[in-house]
């Protein structure tokens, strides 16, 4: 190995090797933000003052604070904060070192697996301050009231683990007590031991049925009460008939029952459940509007600015919005110059310029300096939210596939059991009862119940490794049925905040480029700024007679030449070019134009053509149709290609498609949220997991958009896997039922058949998913 190449990629701070997303600061290379910040910040940061951002200020409101903290007394409070950017041991080191940065922080402990940090702080230090501190050192926190939902999910899985342990413990021990009977050992004939073993088995089976298996019984009862079919119904029948018949056999002294099979059944079922619930913690689907629009604002009064709740503001109040902050309410710009990015709201890619007196709208992000906004109406979050969201749409992914089968399954099993019992009742009533319960016992669809969790659980894992995070396993079965994909344009098909500039016309010589840049730099119109940036590094020349006409263009004299930049009419151009175009004329002669176009994501063309082969594609955009040609160039046969759509119209378009096809909606911003909710499956595309994805059922990191065809193929394949598992488990059941109907189901046959079917189905599913994923290059 060549040593020097290794050194190049070693982290300056911690010395571990860096992967592709390394961080460069002042010619030093760091493996993550943890190391970068640590080496730089530790000395500098101690007790430094912070400028707390609007978005964190709302955590200090008493009602929010009380819900967020895990514990508080008069002096201190403690809460767990989700920090998705935790990456390596340096991050742990830095975050656990927080108490030495700030006197108010009393302790901090990182949970690496869940990417969380539990912070204990004194009451003097507001929560917003801690949040800002975490963001400043490179760990933007995910604190939200909805985050608390996730913690409830976590305790469920903790309970699942305990139930699994109890079931496993009882399963093992009951099996040991049944061993003598399996092998016909001498102790099996000893009355003392038979009684001892039987009573111990009964004692051990009680926690299995009433603690570990409780959920199955309860949910089966609930499904029955609501007269719905559910896979848990045949399972509950199996559990109860196993338990009941075993008790009968043991107490009447006929035999030892099937308690080992019962415990094994519950044990395997719980493994499946635990596996499926072991989900990722980075993604939160419960975020609401309040995490996007700040609830607390800087109110400007004669005495200065102070923090105020948004709902306490009235018409006419003035608020201050700083750089990169979200405008919380509709109003009129009263101070400063605004450059407001509405991309998230409308899908419009170019930031809008706002002068004093211009109307600004809630949800826009201020991009240049500080502005003051005078409210022209009483702010109302609910009203605001209703423009984007269509909350009446509630999706419920029930596991249709297995529920559907379980209906027929239950009916078939009970019919077979009854017919067999009637047939045997001519021989003996006792034998008829035995056969009846044997059929119910052996037909328990354990393998069927395991196949879905393991197939979907494995797929979820493959997806999350490739940065697609599904809300739950059932969303996969919806994905497999999708026939039509609807895409948003800005931010989804195009890169966020990346525009391509091309100059078309005469070759720009250095001198002219320099002059154009000098003129463009005089204006702060977004297009001028884009052109200024595009032209690169030149020393600016003096511009005289500068003139700017809003909506038209700019002109000025640079280097003794009259240069005009702007719209067609402004420069008197004849040829019409579609898209966003800035014409250039020098001394009245047109030399060409700048074409500003969205930059489409890499690999989009091949991705779309691959998708186009298996399903229909549409694009619904809130932006103007300047990109129509570029889009049809990338993919010629869009089913629908519509522009200038309002958020609600997108949802309506989707509901029209839904009359005939199942729709997957992929979007990125708030303007897509009602469409995302409307789709049979809503997928949010995001640059990082810190984003905001209301109403979505899945979150996809933008780099993985190219893998979408593979994701869909895998989801579709899951149906095939489930079919194979069904055939497999039916074969087992037919074998078992044959034994049962002929009255031959002995404890040893039950004890072999049940685990064998479960284990083989689990292995089959896992293998098939892995093989397919490898084929699709997903693992």
Partner 1 sequence: MKIIGLLISLSMILAIGFLFAFYKAVKTGQFDDLESPAMRVLDTKKSKTNHQN
- 99 CB burial (10 A radius; 0-12, 13-18, 19+): middle
- The interface mask with partner 1, positions 6-35, x = CB under 8 A, is --------x---------------------
Q: Which two tokens stand for residue 72?
A: 């508080």
Q: Is 505 helix (H, G, I), strand (E, B) or coil?
A: strand
**Helices and strands (H and E) in the chain: how many:** 27, 28
* 190 makes contact with partner 1 (CB under 8 A): yes
Cα(660)–Cα(232) distance, rounded to whole angstroms?
A: 32
Q: Which two tokens stand for residue 382?
A: 């609910």
* 185 makes contact with partner 1 (CB under 8 A): no
Complex with partner 1: residue 172 or 244, whichever CB lies closer: 172
Residue range at the interface with partner 1 (CB under 8 A); choices 187-195, 254-262, 692-700, 760-768: 187-195
Q: Which two tokens stand for residue 124?
A: 């003097």
Complex with partner 1: residue 173 or 380, whichever CB lies closer: 173
* 752 makes contact with partner 1 (CB under 8 A): no
Q: According to DSSP H, which parts of 358-504 are helical? A: 381-386, 400-425, 429-442, 446-465, 474-480
* 169 makes contact with partner 1 (CB under 8 A): yes
CA dihedral sign, ordered 211, 216, 220, 222: positive
At closest approach, how far in Å is the CB of 103 from partner 1? 19
Residue range at the interface with partner 1 (CB under 8 A); choices 17-25, 185-193, 560-568, 703-711: 185-193
* 166 makes contact with partner 1 (CB under 8 A): yes
User: In the set 26, 27, 192, 226, which binds partner 1 (CB under 8 A)?
Assistant: 192
Exposed e or buried b per residue across 592-608, where buried means at least 16 C-beta atoms within 10 angstroms of its C-beta: bbbbbbbebbeebeebb
* 279 makes contact with partner 1 (CB under 8 A): no
* 464 makes contact with partner 1 (CB under 8 A): no
* 278 makes contact with partner 1 (CB under 8 A): no
Residue range at the interface with partner 1 (CB under 8 A); choices 162-170, 682-690, 728-736, 739-747: 162-170
- 253 CB burial (10 A radius; 0-12, 13-18, 19+): exposed
Complex with partner 1: residue 96 or 472, whichever CB lies closer: 96
Complex with partner 1: residue 201 or 773, whichever CB lies closer: 201
Cα(684)–Cα(669) distance, rounded to whole angstroms?
A: 8
Widest CA span of the chain, in angstroms? 116
CA dihedral sign, ordered 658, 662, 667, 673: positive
* 187 makes contact with partner 1 (CB under 8 A): yes
At closest approach, how far in Å is the CB of 110 from partner 1? 5
Residue range at the interface with partner 1 (CB under 8 A); choices 163-171, 263-271, 576-584, 676-684: 163-171
At closest approach, how far in Å is the CB of 420 from partner 1? 37
Complex with partner 1: residue 63 or 113, whichever CB lies closer: 113
* 153 makes contact with partner 1 (CB under 8 A): no
Strands 116-122 and 71-72: unpaired
Mention every residue, 6+ apart, whose C-beta is less than 8 A from residue 222. none
* 624 makes contact with partner 1 (CB under 8 A): no
Complex with partner 1: residue 192 or 426, whichever CB lies closer: 192
Cα(568)–Cα(592) distance, rounded to whole angstroms?
A: 11
Q: How many residues interact with partner 1 (rule CB under 8 A)? A: 25
- 464 CB burial (10 A radius; 0-12, 13-18, 19+): middle
At closest approach, how far in Å is the CB of 464 from partner 1? 16
At closest approach, how far in Å is the CB of 169 from partner 1? 5
User: What separation in angstroms does the CA of 118 have from each of 90, 115, 121, 676?
Assistant: 17, 10, 10, 33
Our measurement of the distance from residue 178's CA atom to the centroid of its chain's CA atoms, rounded to an integer in Å, reads: 47
Considering only residues 110-129, where is the footprint of partner 1 by CB under 8 A?
Answer: 110-114
Q: What angle do CA 220, 284, 82 make, to 5 degrees?
A: 120
Considering only residues 251-270, where is the footprint of partner 1 by CB under 8 A?
Answer: none
Radius of gyration of the chain (CA): 33
Considering only residues 84-113, where is the footprint of partner 1 by CB under 8 A?
Answer: 88-89, 92-93, 96-97, 110-113
Complex with partner 1: residue 154 or 309, whichever CB lies closer: 154
Complex with partner 1: residue 91 or 319, whichever CB lies closer: 91
Task: Name the residue among 209, 184, 225 with its Cα closest to residue 264.
Answer: 209
Residue range at the interface with partner 1 (CB under 8 A); choices 4-12, 189-197, 627-635, 730-738: 189-197
At closest approach, how far in Å is the CB of 44 from partner 1? 17
Considering only residues 34-93, where is the footprint of partner 1 by CB under 8 A?
Answer: 88-89, 92-93
User: In the set 41, 45, 200, 706, which binds partner 1 (CB under 8 A)?
Assistant: 200
Complex with partner 1: residue 201 or 300, whichever CB lies closer: 201
* 775 makes contact with partner 1 (CB under 8 A): no
Cα(476)–Cα(474) distance, rounded to whole angstroms?
A: 5
Instruction: Report whether 20 contacts 104 (CB < 8 A).
Output: no
Exposed e or buried b per residue across 145-175, where buried means at least 16 C-beta atoms within 10 angstroms of its C-beta: bebeebeeeeeebeebeebbebbbbbbebbb
Considering only residues 373-402, where is the footprint of partner 1 by CB under 8 A?
Answer: none
Considering only residues 542-561, where is the footprint of partner 1 by CB under 8 A?
Answer: none
Task: Name the residue among 29, 24, 27 with its Cα closest to residue 9.
Answer: 29
Complex with partner 1: residue 97 or 324, whichever CB lies closer: 97
* 162 makes contact with partner 1 (CB under 8 A): yes
Instruction: Report whether 380 contacts 293 (CB < 8 A).
Output: no
What residue ranges bind partner 1 (CB under 8 A)?
14, 88-89, 92-93, 96-97, 110-114, 158, 161-162, 165-166, 169, 173, 187, 190, 192-193, 196, 200
């Amino acid at each position: 190995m060549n040593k020097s190449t290794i050194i190049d990629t070693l982290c300056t701070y911690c010395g571990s090797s860096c992967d592709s997303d390394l961080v460069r600061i002042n010619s030093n290379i760091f493996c993550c933000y943890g190391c970068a910040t640590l080496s730089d910040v530790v000395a500098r940061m101690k007790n430094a003052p912070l400028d707390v951002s609007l978005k964190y200020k709302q955590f200090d409101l008493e009602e929010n604070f009380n819900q967020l903290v895990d514990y508080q007394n008069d002096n201190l409070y403690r809460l767990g904060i989700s920090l998705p950017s935790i990456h390596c041991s340096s991050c742990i080191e830095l975050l656990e070192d927080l108490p030495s940065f700030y006197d108010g922080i009393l302790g901090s402990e990182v949970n690496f697996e869940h990417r969380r940090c539990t912070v204990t702080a004194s009451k003097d230090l507001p929560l917003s301050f801690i949040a800002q501190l975490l963001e400043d050192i490179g760990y933007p926190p995910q604190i939200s009231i909805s985050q608390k939902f996730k913690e409830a999910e976590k305790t469920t899985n903790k309970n699942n683990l305990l139930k699994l342990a109890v079931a496993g413990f009882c399963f093992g021990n009951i099996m040991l007590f049944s061993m003598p009977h399996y092998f016909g050992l001498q102790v099996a004939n000893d009355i003392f031991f038979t009684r001892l073993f039987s009573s111990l088995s009964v004692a051990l089976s009680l926690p299995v049925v009433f603690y570990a298996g409780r959920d199955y019984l309860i949910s089966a009862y609930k499904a029955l009460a609501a007269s719905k079919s559910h896979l848990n119904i045949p399972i509950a029948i199996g559990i109860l008939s196993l338990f009941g018949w075993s008790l009968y056999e043991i107490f009447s002294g006929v035999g030892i029952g099937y308690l080992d099979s019962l415990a094994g059944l519950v044990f395997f079922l719980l493994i499946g459940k635990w596996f499926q619930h072991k989900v990722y913690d980075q993604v939160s689907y419960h975020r609401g509007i309040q995490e996007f629009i700040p609830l607390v604002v800087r109110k400007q009064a004669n005495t200065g600015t102070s923090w105020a709740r948004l709902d306490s503001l009235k018409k006419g109040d003035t608020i201050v919005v700083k750089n990169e902050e979200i405008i919380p309410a509709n109003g009129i710009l009263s101070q400063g110059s605004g450059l407001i990015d509405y991309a998230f709201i409308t899908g419009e890619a170019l930031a809008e310029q706002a002068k004093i007196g211009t109307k600004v709208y809630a949800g826009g992000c201020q991009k240049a300096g500080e502005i003051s906004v005078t409210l022209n109406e009483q702010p109302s979050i609910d009203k605001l939210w209703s423009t984007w969201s269509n909350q009446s749409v509630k999706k419920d992914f029930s596991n249709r596939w297995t529920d559907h089968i379980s209906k027929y399954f239950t009916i078939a099993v009970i019919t077979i059991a009854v017919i067999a019992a009637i047939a045997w009742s001519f021989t003996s009533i006792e034998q008829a009862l035995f056969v009846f319960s044997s059929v119910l016992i052996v037909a328990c669809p354990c393998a069927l119940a395991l196949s879905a969790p393991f197939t979907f659980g494995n797929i979820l894992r493959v997806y999350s490794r490739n940065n697609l995070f599904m809300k739950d396993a059932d969303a996969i079965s919806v994905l497999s049925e999708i026939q039509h994909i609807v895409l948003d344009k800005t931010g989804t098909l195009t890169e966020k905040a990346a525009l391509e500039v091309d100059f078309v016309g005469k070759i720009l010589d250095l001198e002219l480029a320099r002059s154009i840049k000098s003129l463009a730099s005089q204006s702060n119109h977004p297009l001028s700024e884009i052109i200024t940036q595009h032209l690169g590094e030149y020393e600016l020349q003096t511009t005289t007679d500068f003139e700017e006409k809003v909506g038209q263009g700019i002109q000025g004299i640079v280097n003794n030449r009259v240069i005009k930049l702007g719209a067609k009419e402004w420069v008197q151009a004849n040829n019409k070019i579609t898209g966003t175009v800035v014409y250039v004329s020098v001394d009245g002669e047109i030399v060409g134009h700048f074409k500003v176009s969205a930059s489409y994501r890499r690999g989009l063309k091949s991705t779309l053509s691959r998708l186009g082969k298996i399903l229909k594609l549409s694009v619904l955009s809130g932006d103007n149709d300047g990109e129509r040609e570029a889009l049809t160039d990338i993919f010629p046969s869009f089913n629908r290609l519509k522009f200038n759509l309002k958020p609600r119209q997108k949802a309506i378009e989707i509901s029209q498609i839904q009359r005939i096809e199942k729709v997957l909606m992929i979007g990125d911003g708030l303007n897509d949220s009602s469409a995302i909710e409307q789709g049979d499956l809503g997928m949010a595309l995001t640059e990082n997991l810190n984003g905001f994805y209301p109403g979505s059922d899945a979150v996809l990191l933008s780099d993985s958009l190219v893998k979408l065809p593979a994701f869909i193929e895998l989801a579709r394949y899951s149906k095939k896997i489930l079919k194979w598992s069904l055939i497999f488990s039916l074969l087992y059941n037919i074998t078992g039922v044959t034994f049962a109907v002929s009255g031959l189901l002995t404890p040893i046959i039950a004890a072999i058949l049940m685990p064998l079917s479960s284990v083989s189905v689990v292995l089959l599913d896992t293998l098939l998913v892995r093989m397919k994923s490898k084929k699709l290059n997903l693992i």
